[in-house]
Structure 1
């Protein structure tokens, strides 16, 4: 076996390469499969690597040698499905995988025509070729079934470009099969494959029982790949939508449209693979969409690179390493650097040679060969003759001729992978050949340096072969006083110093994540400063998830563009919706999962347990949760070395240390990689450990939220819902209503599988209570109706009445007064004879408010007094249960009584009642009730103390904004507009904007019971300022809405305003008609027109 690092032939039984010291793969003792050095368990059979096979037990066949005849396929699947003890191995996981199904066309006919022995030999030869194609591109052969092959790309080990690898493997398979058909004995028909490829989520792990148990995948992604293969014609490769989307930058396709497969819901968009593109486009980021931005946040690094090249041009060779994780901007910085080198006069003579190492892994001298191809101007599709001709031209340009060229040419052929056509090197020992190649490379570079300074750029050094790195170090050590600069880029790795030389100046530049300001600058450069300002909340979410990684920023935004969340309108961009999808872009997922898959198995398990705790975690908690506490310290050190996690500033031993994941998305990928059952188990262990730390009755808000989070995703979901409800109640107490809603909704989700339990009903009612004032009335109504149905079913009369009252209020606020009346009446009937004084008081208070809004002010005062009397008569027996409820109903009833008294001409009494209401409400923390008081007090003060009226409105508006109640914000803004325009000179600057904002809120929330108020206020402002045409339109709009409810305090100012406007315009008949309508409203409800003018809008 050749060493993957240096190409040296390693004898069987060696654990390490005697040439370069690289650890070698080891065979599984159970099945013989060659396992990677860091595998502890065989991915084929699940046995422990190195564990001896049991005595008398034959090694299980490897999956890529197992042939299942078609006739046995159905019975095999049936046996697997019914087998007892079927379960995945402990390291089974969820991941996105590209699945390839390849099938030989005409297998049955061919089997009939050929002798079975010949057919078996042909099959084995075919499988050998197909397996080689899969493995060459980093895939995994899952199994052979008859003449079909199932291969995986992305499992058990992920790569950043698995879909692309699968397509290249498919094309290689087709080519290999064609070549096999030319040399194999058969009936004369060409051997052809038809292939289906699909990318999507699967569950991976051990499948089967006993010796037949092996690594495999399950999921609809596999089924769809098989359907695509069945649909493909001979020689065709058909792919699914996600595979197409992830590879269209590198391959051309023909779309076959939507295809409906039998037995599958919905259709699948199918594409036929054509060929690789001659000039692939950018695979990642926004460059693929034609968007670009100047380099941001890398000025210091760029200047240091230019300074190093300046030194190199002066005769001091330089080695510069750019280090950073995938997507951090290494290639972008290199591109900017090379551009600057080409633009600046001081570097006009510098020769630049650029190459990139292949993610498929380099053969021996592969990285060095890439640089040589760059120097010679060789293209990807050049054949051997063209490459040899270009190499000869390069040597001529460098002055290498005659015997020297003849001596160097075979060595350079070897580097370029062109073999040894003249057998010149066949007798040279490997070690001697290596030395001669190093000397040849040094000679070529020296000749180039004799002409001009030389800059060699080698990107993605982490994929380079070991012998190429040794060659570059050899050259650098011997050319330290030349005009040479070697610039390499690579990801952080423990062996990243392989090129370091003691003779050459060495600069290592570590690229750190972009700051928040730099991230905003990047987005502003791409989409414009106006979008960044307008989409502030969305921008914060994008930057938080990206963690300062520029590529991640671009990929997340690209996903928003693909989903239509971010759209271009001309030269501007606009956000259609404001949420960042929780799905991780497939490109980022593959990139990060590839890092995780490189971890040793026990360290990977530790990372998974930490990921379930969250983006930040304490070592003490992880120790209490992990299945192997003894390896905690070593595991955390490894994760820090691999830059998966990092220590949070602090001191002490590892057991008292806190850590965080280096990237939020990295923690998310590791978490999503876990099977649902394992996530559930770990969440439960974390919840149990936290309960021990927090005690039986946790009080801290943070403890409630984290306990709720973990238990809600464990097997004890109801316990999680209890904690989340408590967290929501705590947030509600401080009027953090958005947070409270979020906790309640998570609690309700945790109880999805439960019936209508008391806990579930209580949470749903809380959601409704907060959703109504926030303008989400449909949500509130839906939850109220669900709760009401459950209470009716259980014959809980008092609870049913309470919910009916709340529904009535909701309906009243949207102008459906008839429906509201029926709900109130039904609630009253349920409470008849019930011992529920507080609920009775609430209902009477609500009926009083309803009477006031209907114009019956005496009845409103009567209902309010009844509610207050009900509270006063509460016995000590009721007191412990009704403390805050009694205060609430008292404050509301005082408010209702006050506005009724004001309409009856008792303004000073009204002010005292409202002030008492506000005092009680604020003392009890009932800020919503206090807002109603401020709304009415602002109106009442306009007749007593106008300056105080403005202060009251502003104070109330401040409270309404604090609690997020948009309804009261609209009311207070309208009152503020009246006060500012009546008593100050700030009408244009403060009054008009306040009225316009109130209209905007009312229309957005469909608050039709209040919308006429700001419309009337703004109409009156325009009327007073000589803009009758604007005033008429607003009055008419207000009248149209007010007519729906018939509320007199809304109808009167509309009629009165239209009357006076028509009078000013000499439309006497219309003026008379509107005056008559205004008088009719007052007469019908026994109202004083003067009172409606002085105190127009009370609630």
Structure 2
């Protein structure tokens, strides 16, 4: 056996050389992910691009890397990619294929997929999506069964048998039913059985020819042929079939104890009989069965007991021969041991394969491994071990299905986890995870009820129980936060953090604590308490740095940038986001790069640097589109629209806001829908289409009430108030909407929301020339905005009120407020 490094070196060099030649400027964005996909260790420079990414981002990067490499190859010269037996494609390969198909600019790349018309296969079900994605670049050629004349021609082409009895030929063509593979196999069967011989350059019936029995199916033909070959050859072929459709010769030699010379002769004979063909010679000789049906029939010809024993022998052989690189054979070992009677080894390797698939975001593969573990659990002797295996597998299945958005199936598995488990903490965990699914479905009341049930179960004081209880409080806090109940949310998260402090810190505990601080920061930020938010984000950042978790550091730094942005300190906000961008670019987190670029675009737009803002928003759009993140594409469209709106290009702004709305509706993103509708309403306000603005704001309000998002409802109500204000004579309605906004802001303790409401009162009373009431509300707004550090907004509302007074002829009063604005602006610049 060649040493590991010798086997991997040629592949490593090929990947590097090909990537550099095709993508000389960006090969470093391709090599790490291809190496990971092929389990080839690379230098530390490349490996750190994988180290800090989660499973979803690794999957995205692999897809993007493959697509970019193929497109680069296609642009050098037209490229043909052939996928045989597409009807057997698995979900992971299909997702990668989706990435290849998902590009905006056509390229000279032809992908040919040969497939049976199997309506139950994943490939068939995905065909509609691929057709929609490619449009007129998609073409389907449906091959019908051969008719009688075509079948007869094929038979004549396969074998020139002028003396074949017409009656037999008619029977063969009738049985074939237009299937070319059947015809090929039946003629080979006639040869194997000695009915046909080759003489004088053509095939002819033997002198003692008699009418043979004709099998009904291809499988029966293959089985009949198999019975005709030498017993040693048959045994060898059967053992090869257990290895798989393709098999390495050195593994076959080891399990059969046949020497290399004799093995070469046997394999050459089987190749001549058209059962197998060489797949590759480098770095190891590997054969493949000519057709999947051949391997299937040969495999099924082995008694089940013998098959299980062969699977065990093959697995043990792989463990022995590949002992220094077993990780690369995880899936193969899981397959063979799971089909053997060695249940302990089967469980061990299925767990590894399931975990590995989950880490690679190969969710459908992971599901199969965990389902297999549940099946095996019934066969192990220890009842306690069986229970632990089942609850672990049901938990993993629930987590994967929840991640996929298959919530009904996820709940079913969490319920099964609850049913099979015997300990209280696991019962509680099963319920909490079910509550988390409800949370993602926006079923907040149901989620809270389940969490209360889960909390009631915890009676013990063990570290496991304490950790579980803290997780319950954290989830409950998240639900309250989404519903705008920030005081309740803060209380829950504080209780969670107090509990966690009692536990011995390890990586899991530190991670949960960091996330808890981040949640607290989010609550403070929502209220406008930016100093407290900053403190919490800094605590979270310190913990991520302790773990050297670069994604955590980058995310927290990004959030700190948003806090500085909300305080109006755009330069500090930009510094934080550039620091975050450097980290996410270093670790190859494309989602992070896109999000941070979008934030930088927003910040530059507030500084009035629209060119720089546009550059970052376009970068966000390009990356989001590249990785297939439709929500990200929609968000980037919204940000681009805001730039166009600021520039006065209302047509482009409306087109981009509408695209954001269309995408949000297509993917069912209600938060996105409310944001897009709200932004379109603001656009209509700008161009004085007040009825249209009101229509869109009322649609926004309905969605936000459904979501229970009180923070955004405050903004919706203040804009509705503005519409009524601009509609002369609708002052009463304007005040009612402002009352609604202030009531919500006070309920959730949002200082920015209260300031927004008081500012609207200022505008309403100012329009009524009730200046004392207008100025009373103006000062309330200024006080709150000053407390939260939003000085630029203070300057703007003073200027706005000064202009209102000036337009009303109150020149002296207007000058007083304009002077205040200028003084604050000057102090701000000096500081």
Report the TM-score range of the alignment, normalised by the length of the smaller protein: 0.5 to 0.7
* Distance in 1 between residues matched to 2:754 and 2:452, nearest whole Å: 31
Structure 2 residue 353 is the aligned partner of structure 1 residue 691: no
The answer as to whether partners of 1:867 and 1:889 remain within 8 angstroms in 2 is no
Call closer, same or farther: CA 1:972–1:771 in 2, change over 3 Å.
same
* 1:227 matched residue in structure 2: none
* Distance in 1 between residues matched to 2:295 and 2:663, nearest whole Å: 43
* 2:704 matched residue in structure 1: 1042
Q: 1:1081 aligns with which of 723, 728, 744?
A: 744
The answer as to whether partners of 2:714 and 2:744 remain within 8 angstroms in 1 is yes
The answer as to whether partners of 1:608 and 1:670 remain within 8 angstroms in 2 is yes
* 2:242 matched residue in structure 1: 612
The answer as to whether partners of 1:722 and 1:747 remain within 8 angstroms in 2 is no
Superposed, which structure 2 residues align to 1:413-428 within 5 Å?
none
Structure 2 residue 527 is the aligned partner of structure 1 residue 904: yes
Q: 1:811 aligns with which of 423, 430, 438?
A: 438
* 1:671 matched residue in structure 2: 299
Deviation of 1:822 after TM superposition, in Å, equals 2.0
Structure 2 residue 337 is the aligned partner of structure 1 residue 706: no
Deviation of 1:1038 after TM superposition, in Å, equals 4.3
The answer as to whether partners of 2:330 and 2:352 remain within 8 angstroms in 1 is yes
* 1:449 matched residue in structure 2: none
* 2:458 matched residue in structure 1: 831
* Distance in 2 between residues matched to 1:1061 and 1:969, nearest whole Å: 34
The answer as to whether partners of 2:373 and 2:389 remain within 8 angstroms in 1 is no
Deviation of 1:703 after TM superposition, in Å, equals 2.6
* 1:680 matched residue in structure 2: 308
* Distance in 2 between residues matched to 1:728 and 1:466, nearest whole Å: 51
Partner SS state of residue 356, structure 1: helix
The CA deviation string for residues 884-921 of structure 1, in whole angstroms up to 9 with x for no partner, is: 32132122112111111112323255256446646755
The answer as to whether partners of 1:683 and 1:713 remain within 8 angstroms in 2 is yes
Q: 2:713 aligns with which of 1045, 1051, 1063?
A: 1051
Deviation of 1:786 after TM superposition, in Å, equals 1.2
* Distance in 2 between residues matched to 1:974 and 1:1021, nearest whole Å: 17
The answer as to whether partners of 2:558 and 2:576 remain within 8 angstroms in 1 is no
Deviation of 1:784 after TM superposition, in Å, equals 1.1
Deviation of 1:860 after TM superposition, in Å, equals 3.1
* Distance in 2 between residues matched to 1:734 and 1:859, nearest whole Å: 37
* Distance in 2 between residues matched to 1:1032 and 1:889, nearest whole Å: 43
Deviation of 1:721 after TM superposition, in Å, equals 3.1
The answer as to whether partners of 1:935 and 1:971 remain within 8 angstroms in 2 is no
* 1:519 matched residue in structure 2: none
Partner SS state of residue 772, structure 1: helix
Partner SS state of residue 403, structure 2: coil
Partner SS state of residue 646, structure 1: strand
Structure richer in strand, relative to its length: 1
The CA deviation string for residues 797-831 of structure 1, in whole angstroms up to 9 with x for no partner, is: 22222232222222122222222112222333333
The CA deviation string for residues 14-54 of structure 1, in whole angstroms up to 9 with x for no partner, is: xxxxxxxxxxxxxxxxxxxxxxxxxxxxxxxxxxxxxxxxx
Structure 2 residue 413 is the aligned partner of structure 1 residue 783: yes
* Distance in 2 between residues matched to 1:959 and 1:651, nearest whole Å: 40
* Distance in 1 between residues matched to 2:419 and 2:195, nearest whole Å: 72
TM-score (norm 1): 0.42
The CA deviation string for residues 322-359 of structure 1, in whole angstroms up to 9 with x for no partner, is: xxxxxxxx979x97xxxxxxxxxxxxxxxxxx983899
Deviation of 1:867 after TM superposition, in Å, equals 3.2
* 2:156 matched residue in structure 1: 356
TM-score (norm 2): 0.53
Call closer, same or farther: CA 1:671–1:1026 in 2, change over 3 Å.
farther
The CA deviation string for residues 983-1037 of structure 1, in whole angstroms up to 9 with x for no partner, is: 567856866545543443335xxxx687645554565566657776776565444
Q: 2:591 aligns with which of 952, 958, 974?
A: 958
* 1:637 matched residue in structure 2: 268
The answer as to whether partners of 2:185 and 2:218 remain within 8 angstroms in 1 is no
Call closer, same or farther: CA 1:1009–1:887 in 2, change over 3 Å.
farther
Q: 1:844 aligns with which of 466, 473, 491?
A: 473
* 1:647 matched residue in structure 2: 278
Question: For the pair shown, which has the larger CA radius of gyration, 1 or 2?
Answer: 1
The CA deviation string for residues 1032-1080 of structure 1, in whole angstroms up to 9 with x for no partner, is: 5654444434334533124334434444445556683655544443333
Deviation of 1:603 after TM superposition, in Å, equals 1.6
The CA deviation string for residues 570-629 of structure 1, in whole angstroms up to 9 with x for no partner, is: xxxxxxxxxxxxxxxx96656755664553333223222212211222223223434878
Superposed, which structure 2 residues align to 1:456-495 within 5 Å?
470=199
* Distance in 1 between residues matched to 2:678 and 2:576, nearest whole Å: 19
The answer as to whether partners of 2:720 and 2:734 remain within 8 angstroms in 1 is yes
* 1:894 matched residue in structure 2: 517
Superposed, which structure 2 residues align to 1:256-267 within 5 Å?
none
Call closer, same or farther: CA 1:739–1:285 in 2, change over 3 Å.
closer
* Distance in 1 between residues matched to 2:294 and 2:593, nearest whole Å: 40
* 2:113 matched residue in structure 1: none
Deviation of 1:758 after TM superposition, in Å, equals 0.5
Structure 2 residue 223 is the aligned partner of structure 1 residue 366: no
Deviation of 1:851 after TM superposition, in Å, equals 3.1
The CA deviation string for residues 535-562 of structure 1, in whole angstroms up to 9 with x for no partner, is: xxxxxxxxxxxxxxxxxxxxxxxxxxxx
* Distance in 2 between residues matched to 1:683 and 1:929, nearest whole Å: 44
* Distance in 2 between residues matched to 1:819 and 1:715, nearest whole Å: 44
The answer as to whether partners of 1:612 and 1:683 remain within 8 angstroms in 2 is yes
The answer as to whether partners of 2:222 and 2:297 remain within 8 angstroms in 1 is yes
Partner SS state of residue 461, structure 2: coil
Call closer, same or farther: CA 1:1066–1:288 in 2, change over 3 Å.
farther
Call closer, same or farther: CA 1:914–1:613 in 2, change over 3 Å.
farther
* Distance in 2 between residues matched to 1:668 and 1:612, nearest whole Å: 9
Structure 2 residue 527 is the aligned partner of structure 1 residue 861: no
The answer as to whether partners of 1:927 and 1:959 remain within 8 angstroms in 2 is no
The answer as to whether partners of 1:957 and 1:972 remain within 8 angstroms in 2 is no
The answer as to whether partners of 1:999 and 1:1014 remain within 8 angstroms in 2 is no
Structure 2 residue 773 is the aligned partner of structure 1 residue 773: no
Superposed, which structure 2 residues align to 1:975-1054 within 5 Å?
976=636, 979-983=639-643, 993-994=659-660, 996-1003=662-669, 1012-1013=674-675, 1016=678, 1020=682, 1035-1054=697-716
* Distance in 2 between residues matched to 1:949 and 1:740, nearest whole Å: 38
Call closer, same or farther: CA 1:608–1:899 in 2, change over 3 Å.
same
Partner SS state of residue 247, structure 2: strand
Call closer, same or farther: CA 1:670–1:924 in 2, change over 3 Å.
farther
The CA deviation string for residues 104-152 of structure 1, in whole angstroms up to 9 with x for no partner, is: xxxxxxxxxxxxxxxxxxxxxxxxxxxxxxxxxxxxxxxxxxxxxxxxx
Structure 2 residue 143 is the aligned partner of structure 1 residue 286: yes
* Distance in 2 between residues matched to 1:746 and 1:1089, nearest whole Å: 54
* Distance in 2 between residues matched to 1:994 and 1:937, nearest whole Å: 26
The answer as to whether partners of 2:319 and 2:326 remain within 8 angstroms in 1 is no
The CA deviation string for residues 263-321 of structure 1, in whole angstroms up to 9 with x for no partner, is: xxxxxxxxxxxxxxxxxxxxx9823499xxxxxxxxxxxxxxxxxxxxxxxxxxxxxxx
* Distance in 1 between residues matched to 2:142 and 2:220, nearest whole Å: 14
Q: Return 5+ residue gaps in structure 1 as ranges.
A: 1-244, 246-283, 291-329, 336-353, 374-379, 381-457, 474-487, 496-585
Partner SS state of residue 404, structure 2: coil
Superposed, which structure 2 residues align to 1:44-59 within 5 Å?
none
Superposed, which structure 2 residues align to 1:281-430 within 5 Å?
286-288=143-145, 356=156, 366-367=163-164
Q: Return 5+ residue gaps in structure 2 as ranges.
A: 1-116, 118-140, 174-183, 207-215, 596-623, 757-784, 789-831
